[in-house]
A = this chain, B = another copy of it.
Amino acid sequence: MSEVYAVRRTRLRERCNASGSTAALVSRPANVRYLAGAAPENAVLLLGRTEDVLVCPEPPDDRTPHSRPDEALRLHLMSGIGGDPAVEAAALATAQDVDALAVEEHHLTVTRHRAIGEAAPRLRLTGVAGAVEQLRVVKDEEEISCLRIGAEIADQALGELLESILVGRTERHLALELERRLVDHGADGPAFPPPWPPAPRRPPGHRPTDRRVEEGDFLSVCLGATYRGYRCEIGRTFVIGTAPADWQIELYDLVFSAQRAGRESLAPGAACRDVDRAARQVLDSAGYAEALPVLTGHGVGLEIDEDPQLTPAAMGKLDACVPVTVEPGVHLPGRGGVRIDDTLVVRPEADGGPELLTITTKELLAL
């Protein structure tokens, strides 16, 4: 595995060199993990001029292979207590005769940035905002395999929940129950904390509630597993009670059509905004323009919300091996709503088209 991380670091180094920096300081935890193989708490990674150094406040947890940092990195343990590893890394950069250090300006606070500048006044600080995130968009098969296992775990947890009695329980309780089942099945933990979805993802007017589930309710459940750091999500909507009402069947079918349109438009080279439009226009033309969330899908990986964003204003195109969610939803204030959410991997048609990772049925179940 070590070569994977070395290759990633080389790619970042090339980008930094191209923009005139001889070294880079990576502080955002998901980016540290991507480049170093593990992100010990509060650790930062220095891509130096002469060597790469992982600066850690304490010895990394090495009890499992996937919590062990890449052995090709030099490990630097902080000498003092309460210091900032980013400041210590800047001092190490100076010692390596670095003149321009690229830092993650979208992650460092103004205060930390200033402390780095004061501790290493000879360093010129430049920006590398978003560079690692861009490298992370296209996944390798090892990463996709982690997402696939995470999706299996989420499917299992959801399947078990559906076999239990739901009436009388709150959304919050169901979320905790799901978390426990995810861990039971081998997840590192949930992929995101409840309540979910957060604004601005959630449809206007909808919020997770403490209300108990009742007969006749539309119940939307959204969960995800983290497996070896990789996060996926799945969302399904059910009717509680014996038979769905006509308006519930109609609304469900509509959201299902929108979600299918989004899924079917996933292809290498497809514009992100076109995928969004495919899903959105089904709901728009049925008169639900006002009830739609800001996005109809997004990338997933080491974080639950990554690029690409599937929105009307998105600029980029999809590539093969990019995992995304497709998750249109409609919420009718006072009546409930429908949301259907899958994680898929963009694949060329020759490989069978988009790979669905979350395989729980999308039939409208009455529970």
Binding site for B on A (CB under 8 A): 41-42, 57-58, 61, 63, 81-82, 103, 105-111, 113-114, 127, 129, 172-173, 176-177, 179-180, 183-184, 193, 198-200, 204, 207, 209, 294, 311, 313
Contact = CB atoms under 8 A, between A and B. Distances in A.
Contacts of A184: 173
A66 to B, nearest CB: 13
Contacts of A111: 105-106, 129
B109 A107 contact: yes
Chain A: interface secondary structure? loop
Given A82-B294, A176-B183, A200 B110 contact: no
Contacts of A176: 176, 179-180, 183
Contacts of A177: 180
Contact of A42 (B110, B173, B179, B199): B199
Given A61-B207, A200-B58, A200-B81, A106 B105 contact: no
Contacts of A110: 103, 105-106, 108-110, 113, 127
Contacts of A129: 111
A65 to B, nearest CB: 14
A122 B167 CA distance: 57
A306 B111 CA distance: 18
Contacts of A61: 207
Given A82-B311, A176-B176, A193-B193, 4 more contacts: A105-B111, A111-B129, A173-B183, A179-B179
Contacts of A127: 110
A209 B61 CA distance: 11
A117 B208 CA distance: 36
